[in-house]
Amino acid sequence: MTSTRWICLLLPLALVACAHSSAPETAAPAVTSRASPTLKERYAGTYVYAGGEAEKAAVSAAVDASVKGMGIASGFAKSALMERAVIRPSYTIAFDTKGDVEIETPGYPAEISPSNGAEVKMKNKTGDESQTSQHFVKGVLVQQGRTSDGQGETEFHLQPDGKTLLVKKVMESSQLPRPVVYTLTYVRQSGK
């Protein structure tokens, strides 16, 4: 098979794998009430990565496990997934007077949407566009992104100590044998 043909076959895989995706597309999340003042106060702050080398290795292992068995396409898919699995140095979570939640990381576009799960169009650092929503589910801040290729999810789970934030990421695609799933640890630097 020619290299041009391989590129034509692999490009759709990369586009699907790169989006926070899980084909087939599911319905938009239900819009719920805005975040309570208690949750806003509890989550607002800046959290810095504290997971160390073990968690960095776990991210790579999760990507490797996801692409295992893909043959020649595994290298291309792994590269595309690793670009989107870069560990952010920090997250700042804030809420405005309208009830919107804003998640910021230096060097990344701000992720701003209503805290009731209503979707807004966003573009991430790598240029992927998605319909994204953010809302609380049982005390966990959940960010969901949908593209025409599927969906993905990030859960921000503040631990009972009010300082440790576990960030669980899931990337899925019908083109991947298994989803990419990993959890990272952050600690509060400012806020409450």
pLDDT band at 10 (very low <50, low <70, confident <90, very high): very low
Rounded percentage of the chain residues whose pLDDT exceeds 90: 58
Task: Place 80 in a pLDDT band, splitting at 50, 70 and 90.
Answer: confident
Domain residue limits, the chain = 26-191
The CATH superfamily holding the domain 26-191 is: Calycin beta-barrel core domain (2.40.128.20)
Residue 171, pLDDT above cutoff 80? yes
Alpha carbons 176 and 64: distance in angstroms, whole number:
11
Q: Which amino acid is at 91?
A: Y
User: How confident is residue 33, by pLDDT bands cut at 50, 70 and 90?
Assistant: low
Give pTM, 2 decimals: 0.81
CA angle 22-102-59, nearest 5°? 45
Tokens of residue 133, six digits: 């929503």
Q: What value does the mean pLDDT take over residues 45-65? A: 96
pLDDT, position 164: 98
Residue 150: CB atoms within 10 A of its CB come to: 23
Gap between the Cα atoms of 158 and 146, Å rounded: 24
Confidence of residue 146 (pLDDT cuts 50, 70, 90): confident
